[in-house]
Structure 1
């Protein structure tokens, strides 16, 4: 798949990058990256290139009044301007002209080096060029591998009343080039370990660009349901701790013959997460309607996360004091406020959990007896896990 301007922002290929202007050009395809620290020869930038610059002297309106028009007429894909060194913010005349012409402008934070920017984007461009050639063959290979594995368990899954269920998990990293290869590998191994520990049987098959497909067999459907929310939280932790984000599509395999349909379903799930601009998350095929609704709510300028003062208090307290009160509250609400179940899940004594909950109530004032307060906090936590950086 070709690299577009919007992919850089949506997938946070360059961590902290944001779209500043020219949103109608967000689908411009990037064929190469041209770094020009000082904008002394903008006419040399070629069609399809993304121009990356420090913005040196860009505050000189008269000097660069025709910059955006020149780049637009030359077929340049967009411009990425780094703020924090030579300019504190992108000048208004640049933003206004870019919006008028539909020419995309990206703002890059100062902590990114040009070396990292080049490495990440060029690697992604080259990967995209080979993806189309490899995708058909990779899909066939993935289907064959999973089919052969599933066939070994088909008797107990589909022909006997054992209660066992099989689910297909498709794990897709969406910003793996923003972290080192070692971190990406360690995080995928952490996912493998997590799923293996919670399944009766877990077989995985690696794909291109860091993707992986997991055929997971659970003793019962309840075992699957009890772990899927925990897995979503695990993805949030990986994002916050390691800086890598994943989309995960999940579907139950109902027969050997329906495997191909399940492969299509899990891809539809990850495509949906991308379309709603989720930063990470799990989407099961059965819950796609809810995720779509979730995405519609997210499009509203109202922010469930920032407006929920109780959640903000807990997030800040955890950040400063290295506590896990948000995690505790997540599990407690997910368990329908069943203290015994939550204590067992957290491997702590019920009395210890009660003390934590009292501290949480003292900090943020949430009333766990109020259904609407619990619902509001649960929704806010979901928005945090799917959309917050």
Structure 2
């Protein structure tokens, strides 16, 4: 059942608008609303439609303006609403004259009233008067399409779905900017549920915790390039689900994904600005502390506090580790971890790593335990990658952020050769901490050139693998047989390589003092490789 134009003028945004012509046609019936986006829109109109327009598509075409009311009347429309403002200062006289002649209502839309202010309450009222069936569904999907092109975001779409399903909906995502909880408390999707949604690529019936109680629901995945960025969940709390509810959610999934893409694109742009700004802070290049603090405050960051810096590296067999989709997914996982764990972390990507600035204040979870939990969270979310995390000590002020970052990179890179494949703190580096503090490199370079430097030079010419062999030899506690087994070589080959090392360096591996020189030389070699990475 439709409503009259007279009734419509008392609903939503039309309350602030006025009839300027065709008052005698106020009893015309209205069963849908649409917006004029193109000049020939009238040929596509069906039913007693209210047409909203700014006249922009035809503002230069006097003939089209003159024929507009007559064509709309002939197509069975019920009224014409024109928004005055930047495109037309006032409604053309020809339109008012035609409205009076045909008893066709002409409405002037107040400049402060948006199309959405008019459409949403009117379509809600019309839908309530229609019986459930094809007519109602057609109008609903028209409404959803109009909402999607209105540019108002995902919230109006959710509200429209709630009207149609008569159950509450929430939006969940690892990106805080994409969340819409509607004041409800619900558990995030498990990794198994996320995997199921990615495989199905359609809404699924599930049971999830809502307000602490296990609740039936329909979960619609928001997929972009086969990556799951979140979900829209309809909760069965007011009435039992009908088959139509599933169909509605499935058919609106594309419209929701379009809105999601806008939000993700916006988040990418914001992250790019954050990365550009934070790279200067983390690398210690900020010249003006006051200006840096002010810029940080624009992002909601207090950069004058002490931070513990975490540096995250990822390895992958085959394609690019940091493809755009994978970068977005890793950042998404990092953000979600620190949000759920009640940390106020600052996250950026720098030189192929993810850097986290963690406020160094008392908390239940120490930084080493937080790093271990974060690594597990990342491994579960991206099982195809191998993650390592290095941690620095906390220092005060902006310069302290750079100091902590340098230590985190050292822990990340130098922790790898000493066997720490997961998480390592700078304080656990042992001898590397001492070597990395040398300002005068002449003695270090001299020791390196007398020992491992000779092996590096020999390997470069003969491809003999002496340096990797020495690294494995020390990692295996100087066991010839264990090292040979690890390298898949014969024990005699291993013995020959050790003899060649002694011949080149003059250091015998069986004598403690000379073996220590080789060991220190090897660590200097590892330190030199690492220093070029930050």
- In the superposition, the TM-score normalised over structure 2's length comes to 0.27
Please tell me whether Structure 1 or Structure 2 has the larger radius of gyration of its CA atoms. 2
- In the superposition, the TM-score normalised over structure 1's length comes to 0.36
Whichever structure has more helix as a proportion of its residues is 1
